Structure 1
Amino acid sequence: MPTFSIIIPVYNRPDELKELLDSVAGQICRDFEVIIVEDGSEMKSEQLTFQYKQQFHINYLYQTNQGPGPARNTGAQQAKGRWLIFLDSDCILPNDYLNIISQEVDCEEFDCFGGPDRPHPDFNTIQKAIGYAMSSVLTTGGIRGAKENLDIFYPRSYNLGVRNSVFNSLKGFTNMRFGEDLDFSMRLLKKGYSTRLIKKAFVFHKRRNNFRSFFKQVYNSGIARINLEIRHKGTLKPVHWIPSLFVLGHILIVIGAFFNPWFLLLLMFIPTVLFFHAHHVTKELKTAFWAVPAAFTQTFGYGLGFFEAVISRKLLGKKEFHAFHENFYK
């Protein structure tokens, strides 16, 4: 019986999955199995998984498209490991990733863990810029799970581990399309289980390749924040309103610029700060330049989605929803 069962849901991403499986094959720790769950993909990865059967134990499962939460549940049903590790298919693991986790689970008493993410040096400029936007302290990086001191730590499903027994006691993930990982972590904490941030157990996370798909993702994250508040009362914090206030503030500044050109200086202040901070973090001039529109895409996308959900769910009392049903992956 392996210590770890690595569960990877995949949807039309065989090329990215290959990069992840190559990194799994290079792990120092070999006490694991891998379960691939194909969630109704047209571009299937079954033949790809055959290439790794001589390197480690890998199991391929196919189901009709149900979303990432149910796909992870399908994988967990077949898992034999004491710990379940959920990874997104667009991640790459450092070769000591499992070794670090193995040392932590042997020494510490916790029920669920997570780790941060970062861009790989070989990622393209847009991916690095989006990676900065999703992890920077100047955007929403501090409340996404990279730091423990800003909020309760909620592990995210791109890099999440949980005891098999605990996962089963919670009946796994719900059918939420976005925010399902936060919903899982919140239910876990409500049951009295504990979480732990393992800072050294990071993954390289590709995320989106363009701002259009990135906007759709973060817009749905803003909607999910309100959906989560309705499911879990009291989890919405003042910090979650910052992107929406950022959107409102910029609208007011633009309006003010029609009457007083000095307001244009305010419009330049935040991009300038973002540029120099991104350059300090990434050490790349080109990445720092693209980090500015990436950060604005993230903040505006999240803030606008948040606003729509506040109006739709809080004011009008409508049911749980998400946006871009028909073209999210286009």
Structure 2
Amino acid sequence: MRFSIIIPTLGRSEELILMLDSLLNQSFKDFEAIVVDQNEKDILTSIINSYKNSLVLKHIRIPARGASHARNEGMKIAEGSILTFPDDDCEYPNDFLMRVNTCFEENPEDGIVANTMDKTDGKAIANLSSNEIKIRRSNILKTVIEAGIFIKSNIADGIWFDEDLGVGSPSGYCSDEGPDFVLQLLAKGAEMKFYPDFRMFHPNPVRVYNEQTAIRAYKYGKGRGYFLRKNKFGLKGILYFLLLYILGMLKSIVFFNKQMFMYFVKGFKGRYEGYFKSK
């Protein structure tokens, strides 16, 4: 088995169908999909069963919440030589796995990270590098998003996602589990590269500024602050991100945009608390 595609899912069915449909349409077929189901009620079995004659598909149900916990559980049963961790609302272009596989065959890297873009407008959903670049500690937050990680399973052996980080974590630190995971891989000696032109689809979570996206900015901000403190990026690291959100507040004042202002206030607060008030 070449790829193990580990998909944490909670509270979504239509989005998961789109992801599984995109797997059906892949020109490269040597993969298994592992759906790690965290729903309290069984809402997916009938959907999963409808794909079992067309995909190599494993469906495991776990009671504990958290995307990082789900990925770790998926890794325990993965059989592929390359692991990847898309969200349940991702989709792959038809030639995506073929291009990734060719990249591994032609290059020496132990892992790569692909870019993510919104399918409706074609824009990247995260402010990552526009250059093809070797991933290092110094550029980790400009090159890594968890849904785009592809890593050889032998290199990832013994490396786990920090379950205090990521959506659904009981800690409330709802981001940066991907960069944290990759830092562990780099410390083990993994060679990894970011390919901005390898693009998969993921809806942009902040198309507009409103109360919901402000709450998200706070939770994800806490994750960023905690990540920076945990990995000892120092005051320089956190002050840089706090400054970005101060600039965002100033921009929102110029445009008289209250919702935008609250987004950056909440994001600032989350980053501050995640760094200075985390255990």
Q: Same fold (TM over 0.5)?
A: yes
Q: Is the 8 A contact 1:33 1:58 kept in 2?
A: yes
Post-superposition shift, 1:115? 1.1
* More deviation, 154-163/40-49: 40-49
Aligned with residue 268 of structure 2, among 303, 310, 315:
303
Q: Cα distance, 1:296 vs. partner?
A: 5.8
Identical aligned pairs, as a percentage?
23
- Opposite residue 151 of structure 2, the aligned amino acid is V
Q: Secondary structure at the match of 1:106?
A: helix
Question: Match for residue 281 of structure 1?
Answer: none
For structure 2, the 5+ residue unaligned runs are: none
Q: Distance in 1 between matches of 2:150 and 2:259?
A: 29
Say if 1:108 and 1:148 are closer, same or farther in 2 by CA, change over 3 A: closer
Question: Are 2:186 and 1:189 equivalent residues in the alignment?
Answer: yes
- In the TM superposition, what is the alpha-carbon distance from 1:207 to its structure 2 partner? 4.4
| Paired position in structure 1 for 2:163 | 175
Q: Give the AA of the match of 2:269.
A: L
Contact 2:132 2:196 in 1 (8 A): no
Quote the residue 1:59 is aligned against.
58
DSSP 3-state at the match of 1:201: strand
Comparing 109-118 with 21-30, greater Cα deviation is found at 109-118
Provide the alpha-carbon RMSD of the alignment: 2.9
Structure 1 residue identity aligned to 2:157? N
1:162 positional shift: 1.0
Partner of 1:242: 243
> Are 1:151 and 2:178 counterparts?
no
Name the SS of the counterpart of 2:64 in structure 1.
Answer: coil
- Residue ranges of structure 1 left out of the alignment (5+ in a row): 122-127, 136-140, 255-266, 272-291, 314-318, 320-330
Amino acid at match of 2:188: K
CA deviation map 1:227-253 (0-9, x unaligned): 1122111272654233332256469xx
Shift of 1:25: 0.4
1:166 equivalent in structure 2: 155
Structure 2 counterparts to residues 1-150 of structure 1, below 5 A? 2-42=1-41, 44-121=43-120, 134-135=125-126, 141-142=127-128, 147=131
Change (3 A) 1:72 1:297: farther
Give per-residue Cα distances to partners, 1:258-291, cap 9 Å, x unaligned.
xxxxxxxxx13xx8xxxxxxxxxxxxxxxxxxxx
1:166 CA drift (Å): 1.8
Equivalent in the alignment of 1:284: none
Label 1:23 to 1:53 Cα distance change in 2 as closer, same or farther (>3 A). Answer: same
**In the alignment, is the contact (CA less than 8 A) between 2:248 and 2:261 conserved in 1?**
no
Matched, 1:213 2:235: no
Q: How many Å apart are 1:196 and its aligned residue?
A: 1.1
Q: Which protein is bigger by CA-based radius of gyration?
A: 1
**Structure 1 residues 168 and 54: alpha-carbon distance in aligned structure 2, compared to 1, 3 A threshold:** same
For the 8 Å contact 1:14–1:43, the answer to whether it is kept is no
Q: In 2, are the aligned partners of 1:113 and 1:198 still within 8 Å (CA)?
A: yes
Contact 1:154 1:195 in 2 (8 A): no
SS of 1:199's partner is: strand
Query: Shift of the alpha carbon at 1:203?
Result: 1.2
Q: Aligned pair in 2 of structure 1 residues 293, 47: CA closer, same or farther (>3 Å)? A: farther
CA deviations 1:121-155 (Å, max 9, x no partner) are 3xxxxxx5xx85844xxxxx14xx66566824542
Distance 1:132 1:215 in 2: 21
Q: For the residues of structure 1 that align with 2:258 and 2:29, how far apart are their CA atoms?
A: 41
* Residue range with higher mean Cα deviation, 33-42 or 13-22: 33-42
Q: Secondary structure of the residue that 2:139 maps to in structure 1?
A: coil
Of 41-50 and 75-84, more deviation after overlay is shown by 41-50
In structure 1, C-alpha distance between the alignment counterparts of 2:34 and 2:97, rounded to whole Å: 16
User: CA 1:296 to 1:195, structure 2 compared with 1: closer, same or farther past 3 Å?
Assistant: farther
Q: For 2:241 and 2:68, locate their aligned partners in 1 and report how far apart those are by CA, in whole Å.
A: 23
Q: In 2, distance between residues paired with 1:206 and 1:293? A: 24
Distance in structure 2 (CA, Å) of the matches to 1:311 and 1:202: 35
Deviations 1:37-56 (A, max 9, x none): 00244362121111111112
What is the TM-score normalised by the length of structure 1?
0.70
Q: Aligned AA for 1:307?
A: Y
